[in-house]
Amino acid sequence: MEIKFKLFLEKLIYNSDIFSKKDIKVAKKVAKELGEKILKPLNAGSFGKAYETESGKVLKITSDEEEFHIAQKLSRNKNWMKCLINYYNVGELISQDYDYKWYILMDKVLPLTTLEKVTINYYYMDIIQYNKNYWEDINNEKKIKKIRNSDTNVRKMANKLYPYIVKICKELKLHKIKETDFHSENMGWDKNFENLVLFDLGGCIEEIEPSNRKINKIKI
Ligand SMILES: Nc1ncnc2c1ncn2[C@@H]1O[C@H](COP(=O)(O)OP(=O)(O)O)[C@@H](O)[C@H]1O
Ligand SMILES: [Mg+2]
Protein backbone atom coordinates (compact mmCIF):
# COMPACT_ATOMS: atom_id res chain seq x y z
CA MET A 1 0.00 0.00 0.00
CA GLU A 2 2.72 2.36 1.00
CA ILE A 3 4.80 1.56 -2.09
CA LYS A 4 1.77 1.93 -4.32
CA PHE A 5 1.05 5.30 -2.84
CA LYS A 6 4.68 6.34 -3.32
CA LEU A 7 4.56 5.26 -6.95
CA PHE A 8 1.29 7.11 -7.44
CA LEU A 9 2.81 10.25 -5.98
CA GLU A 10 5.93 9.94 -8.11
CA LYS A 11 3.87 9.49 -11.24
CA LEU A 12 1.88 12.54 -10.31
CA ILE A 13 4.91 14.64 -9.55
CA TYR A 14 7.26 13.50 -12.30
CA ASN A 15 4.86 12.28 -14.98
CA SER A 16 6.94 9.12 -15.15
CA ASP A 17 5.70 8.11 -18.61
CA ILE A 18 7.97 10.82 -19.96
CA PHE A 19 10.44 11.40 -17.15
CA SER A 20 12.18 8.27 -15.96
CA LYS A 21 13.89 7.99 -12.58
CA LYS A 22 17.22 8.23 -14.38
CA ASP A 23 16.09 11.46 -16.10
CA ILE A 24 15.19 13.01 -12.78
CA LYS A 25 18.42 11.84 -11.19
CA VAL A 26 20.50 13.31 -14.00
CA ALA A 27 18.56 16.60 -13.99
CA LYS A 28 19.03 16.96 -10.23
CA LYS A 29 22.75 16.28 -10.51
CA VAL A 30 23.25 18.76 -13.35
CA ALA A 31 21.18 21.40 -11.57
CA LYS A 32 23.26 20.98 -8.44
CA GLU A 33 26.50 21.43 -10.40
CA LEU A 34 25.07 24.66 -11.78
CA GLY A 35 23.98 25.96 -8.39
CA GLU A 36 20.31 25.38 -9.21
CA LYS A 37 17.60 23.12 -7.82
CA ILE A 38 14.95 21.29 -9.86
CA LEU A 39 11.45 22.43 -8.96
CA LYS A 40 9.59 20.13 -11.36
CA PRO A 41 9.71 18.52 -14.79
CA LEU A 42 8.10 20.85 -17.28
CA ASN A 43 7.62 19.13 -20.59
CA ALA A 44 9.38 17.15 -23.30
CA GLY A 45 9.74 17.28 -27.07
CA SER A 46 11.25 14.96 -29.68
CA PHE A 47 14.82 15.71 -28.63
CA GLY A 48 14.89 16.84 -25.05
CA LYS A 49 13.38 17.14 -21.61
CA ALA A 50 12.84 20.41 -19.78
CA TYR A 51 12.77 21.09 -16.05
CA GLU A 52 11.85 24.21 -14.13
CA THR A 53 14.36 25.29 -11.48
CA GLU A 54 13.64 27.03 -8.20
CA SER A 55 15.21 30.24 -9.48
CA GLY A 56 12.64 30.31 -12.30
CA LYS A 57 14.89 29.12 -15.11
CA VAL A 58 14.64 26.08 -17.37
CA LEU A 59 17.18 23.28 -17.49
CA LYS A 60 16.98 21.38 -20.75
CA ILE A 61 18.69 18.05 -21.25
CA THR A 62 18.82 17.20 -24.93
CA SER A 63 20.21 14.91 -27.61
CA ASP A 64 20.08 17.72 -30.20
CA GLU A 65 23.69 18.58 -30.91
CA GLU A 66 22.79 21.53 -33.07
CA GLU A 67 20.78 23.13 -30.30
CA PHE A 68 23.84 22.79 -28.10
CA HIS A 69 26.08 24.48 -30.70
CA ILE A 70 23.65 27.35 -31.22
CA ALA A 71 23.22 27.82 -27.47
CA GLN A 72 26.99 27.69 -27.00
CA LYS A 73 27.37 30.41 -29.62
CA LEU A 74 24.55 32.61 -28.34
CA SER A 75 25.36 32.27 -24.65
CA ARG A 76 28.06 34.90 -25.19
CA ASN A 77 25.43 37.57 -25.86
CA LYS A 78 24.04 37.94 -22.37
CA ASN A 79 21.04 40.19 -21.81
CA TRP A 80 20.54 41.72 -25.16
CA MET A 81 18.60 39.10 -27.04
CA LYS A 82 14.93 39.82 -26.76
CA CYS A 83 13.26 37.30 -29.03
CA LEU A 84 15.71 34.42 -28.75
CA ILE A 85 15.99 32.85 -25.33
CA ASN A 86 18.79 33.96 -23.02
CA TYR A 87 21.23 31.24 -22.05
CA TYR A 88 23.06 31.06 -18.72
CA ASN A 89 25.07 27.89 -19.02
CA VAL A 90 25.55 25.31 -21.72
CA GLY A 91 27.62 22.15 -21.80
CA GLU A 92 28.19 18.50 -22.38
CA LEU A 93 27.19 15.55 -20.20
CA ILE A 94 29.84 12.92 -19.73
CA SER A 95 28.26 9.51 -19.32
CA GLN A 96 28.61 5.93 -20.56
CA ASP A 97 24.95 5.09 -20.78
CA TYR A 98 22.75 8.18 -20.99
CA ASP A 99 21.35 9.07 -24.43
CA TYR A 100 21.06 12.79 -23.83
CA LYS A 101 24.43 14.41 -24.24
CA TRP A 102 23.87 18.13 -23.73
CA TYR A 103 22.51 20.50 -21.09
CA ILE A 104 21.26 24.05 -21.47
CA LEU A 105 20.24 26.42 -18.68
CA MET A 106 18.04 29.22 -19.96
CA ASP A 107 15.29 31.68 -19.13
CA LYS A 108 11.75 30.42 -18.74
CA VAL A 109 9.02 31.84 -20.92
CA LEU A 110 5.29 32.04 -20.27
CA PRO A 111 2.89 29.79 -22.16
CA LEU A 112 0.90 30.95 -25.17
CA THR A 113 -2.88 30.87 -25.24
CA THR A 114 -4.58 28.27 -27.41
CA LEU A 115 -5.62 30.98 -29.88
CA GLU A 116 -2.03 32.22 -30.12
CA LYS A 117 -0.78 28.65 -30.69
CA VAL A 118 -3.36 27.89 -33.36
CA THR A 119 -2.65 31.17 -35.11
CA ILE A 120 1.11 30.69 -35.16
CA ASN A 121 0.84 27.18 -36.51
CA TYR A 122 -1.82 28.04 -39.05
CA TYR A 123 -0.40 31.26 -40.43
CA TYR A 124 3.29 31.42 -39.67
CA MET A 125 4.70 27.92 -39.30
CA ASP A 126 4.60 27.21 -43.05
CA ILE A 127 6.32 30.48 -43.86
CA ILE A 128 9.19 30.12 -41.42
CA GLN A 129 9.79 26.52 -40.30
CA TYR A 130 12.92 25.04 -41.87
CA ASN A 131 12.83 27.72 -44.55
CA LYS A 132 16.12 29.34 -45.47
CA ASN A 133 14.22 32.26 -47.02
CA TYR A 134 12.20 33.04 -43.89
CA TRP A 135 13.27 36.69 -43.86
CA GLU A 136 12.22 37.40 -47.44
CA ASP A 137 9.04 35.38 -47.02
CA ILE A 138 7.85 36.97 -43.76
CA ASN A 139 8.32 40.36 -45.38
CA ASN A 140 6.66 39.35 -48.64
CA GLU A 141 3.26 41.04 -48.88
CA LYS A 142 1.91 38.35 -51.19
CA LYS A 143 2.86 35.51 -48.86
CA ILE A 144 1.27 37.15 -45.86
CA LYS A 145 -1.68 38.57 -47.75
CA LYS A 146 -4.12 36.02 -46.41
CA ILE A 147 -3.79 37.46 -42.91
CA ARG A 148 -4.76 41.00 -43.96
CA ASN A 149 -8.33 42.35 -43.73
CA SER A 150 -9.04 40.29 -40.66
CA ASP A 151 -12.47 39.46 -39.56
CA THR A 152 -12.20 36.15 -37.74
CA ASN A 153 -10.58 35.90 -34.31
CA VAL A 154 -7.70 33.87 -35.70
CA ARG A 155 -6.96 36.38 -38.44
CA LYS A 156 -7.15 39.24 -35.96
CA MET A 157 -4.68 37.39 -33.80
CA ALA A 158 -2.46 36.76 -36.83
CA ASN A 159 -2.30 40.50 -37.47
CA LYS A 160 -1.61 41.20 -33.83
CA LEU A 161 1.23 38.68 -33.74
CA TYR A 162 2.82 39.73 -37.03
CA PRO A 163 5.22 42.37 -35.61
CA TYR A 164 6.35 39.94 -32.88
CA ILE A 165 7.03 37.25 -35.46
CA VAL A 166 9.00 39.67 -37.65
CA LYS A 167 11.09 40.61 -34.62
CA ILE A 168 11.96 36.96 -34.00
CA CYS A 169 12.99 36.57 -37.64
CA LYS A 170 15.11 39.71 -37.40
CA GLU A 171 17.06 38.29 -34.47
CA LEU A 172 17.46 34.91 -36.18
CA LYS A 173 18.91 36.73 -39.17
CA LEU A 174 21.15 38.88 -37.00
CA HIS A 175 22.65 35.77 -35.42
CA LYS A 176 22.98 34.05 -38.81
CA ILE A 177 20.64 31.22 -37.86
CA LYS A 178 19.64 29.91 -41.25
CA GLU A 179 16.73 27.64 -40.40
CA THR A 180 14.66 26.84 -37.33
CA ASP A 181 11.98 24.51 -36.11
CA PHE A 182 9.46 27.31 -35.85
CA HIS A 183 6.16 26.29 -34.22
CA SER A 184 4.02 27.16 -31.23
CA GLU A 185 5.52 24.57 -28.84
CA ASN A 186 8.93 26.18 -29.20
CA MET A 187 7.98 29.68 -28.08
CA GLY A 188 6.39 31.70 -25.33
CA TRP A 189 6.09 35.22 -23.90
CA ASP A 190 8.77 36.96 -21.89
CA LYS A 191 7.91 38.00 -18.35
CA ASN A 192 6.38 41.37 -19.27
CA PHE A 193 4.56 40.03 -22.33
CA GLU A 194 6.65 42.41 -24.42
CA ASN A 195 8.28 39.86 -26.71
CA LEU A 196 7.44 36.55 -28.23
CA VAL A 197 10.51 34.40 -27.59
CA LEU A 198 11.80 31.36 -29.46
CA PHE A 199 13.52 28.91 -27.11
CA ASP A 200 14.21 25.70 -29.02
CA LEU A 201 16.82 26.63 -31.60
CA GLY A 202 17.65 23.26 -33.09
CA GLY A 203 17.38 22.24 -36.69
CA CYS A 204 19.99 21.26 -39.21
CA ILE A 205 23.42 20.36 -37.97
CA GLU A 206 25.39 20.95 -41.17
CA GLU A 207 24.56 24.65 -41.06
CA ILE A 208 26.33 25.34 -37.81
CA GLU A 209 29.99 26.01 -37.38
CA PRO A 210 30.92 24.58 -33.99
CA SER A 211 32.26 27.31 -31.75
CA ASN A 212 35.88 26.96 -30.68
CA ARG A 213 35.08 28.05 -27.14
CA LYS A 214 35.88 25.67 -24.35
CA ILE A 215 33.01 23.24 -23.70
CA ASN A 216 31.75 22.94 -20.10
CA LYS A 217 31.48 19.33 -19.01
CA ILE A 218 29.50 17.64 -16.26
CA LYS A 219 30.09 14.02 -15.34
CA ILE A 220 26.86 12.19 -14.55
N1 LIG B 1 12.67 27.99 -21.85
C2 LIG B 1 11.50 27.40 -21.71
N3 LIG B 1 10.45 28.05 -21.13
C4 LIG B 1 9.25 27.43 -21.00
N5 LIG B 1 8.98 26.18 -21.40
C6 LIG B 1 9.98 25.48 -21.97
C7 LIG B 1 11.28 26.04 -22.17
N8 LIG B 1 12.07 25.11 -22.74
C9 LIG B 1 11.30 24.02 -22.92
N10 LIG B 1 10.03 24.22 -22.46
C11 LIG B 1 8.92 23.25 -22.48
O12 LIG B 1 9.43 21.95 -22.72
C13 LIG B 1 8.99 21.46 -24.01
C14 LIG B 1 10.12 20.68 -24.66
O15 LIG B 1 11.25 21.53 -24.86
P16 LIG B 1 11.87 21.72 -26.30
O17 LIG B 1 13.03 22.64 -26.12
O18 LIG B 1 10.86 22.17 -27.30
O19 LIG B 1 12.36 20.24 -26.63
P20 LIG B 1 12.63 19.53 -28.05
O21 LIG B 1 13.96 20.00 -28.52
O22 LIG B 1 12.64 18.07 -27.71
O23 LIG B 1 11.52 19.92 -28.98
C24 LIG B 1 8.55 22.69 -24.79
O25 LIG B 1 7.61 22.42 -25.79
C26 LIG B 1 7.97 23.54 -23.65
O27 LIG B 1 6.68 23.10 -23.30
MG1 LIG C 1 10.70 21.71 -29.27
* Averages of pLDDT over each 10 residues, the chain, 220 residues: 60 70 96 97 94 98 94 79 94 95 97 96 94 96 76 88 97 91 97 96 65 87
Residues 40 and 102 in one domain: yes
Q: Could you tell me the residue range of the domain that residue 29 belongs to?
A: 2-108
- Residue 109 alpha carbon, nearest atom of ligand 1: 3
Tell me whether residue 41 is in a domain: yes
Residues 12 and 51 in one domain: yes
Whole-prediction pTM: 0.90
| Residue 211 to residue 79: CA distance in whole angstroms | 20
Spatial contact of 180 and 128, defined as CB atoms under 8 Å apart: yes
pLDDT of residue 14: 58
Residue 170 burial class via C-beta count within 10 angstroms: exposed 0-12, middle 13-18, buried 19 and up: middle
Q: Which residues are close to ligand 2, an ion, with C-beta < 5 A?
A: 45, 186, 200
Tell me whether residue 143 is in a domain: yes
Tell me whether residue 210 is in a domain: no
CA-based end-to-end distance of the chain: 33
Tell me whether residue 203 is in a domain: no
Q: Which ligand is nearest to the CA of 60?
A: 1
Q: Is the CB of 112 under 6 A from ligand 1?
A: no
Buried-exposed string 177-207: b where 16+ CB fall within 10 A, e elsewhere: bbbbbbbbebbbbbeeeebbbbbbbbbeeee
Residues 13 and 97 in one domain: yes
Tell me whether residue 160 is in a domain: yes
Tell me whether residue 213 is in a domain: no
Residues 94 and 136 in one domain: no
pLDDT of residue 11: 56
DSSP 97: S
Residues 119 and 104 in one domain: no
Tell me whether residue 218 is in a domain: no
Mutate to test the pocket of ligand 1, among 46, 60, 114, 121 (most ligand atoms within 8 A of CB): 60
Q: Is the CB of 46 under 6 A from ligand 1?
A: yes
Residues 104 and 147 in one domain: no
pLDDT of residue 219: 95
pLDDT of residue 31: 98
Strand pairing partners for 89? 105
Tell me whether residue 156 is in a domain: yes
Residues 149 and 55 in one domain: no
Q: In the chain, how many domains are there?
A: 2
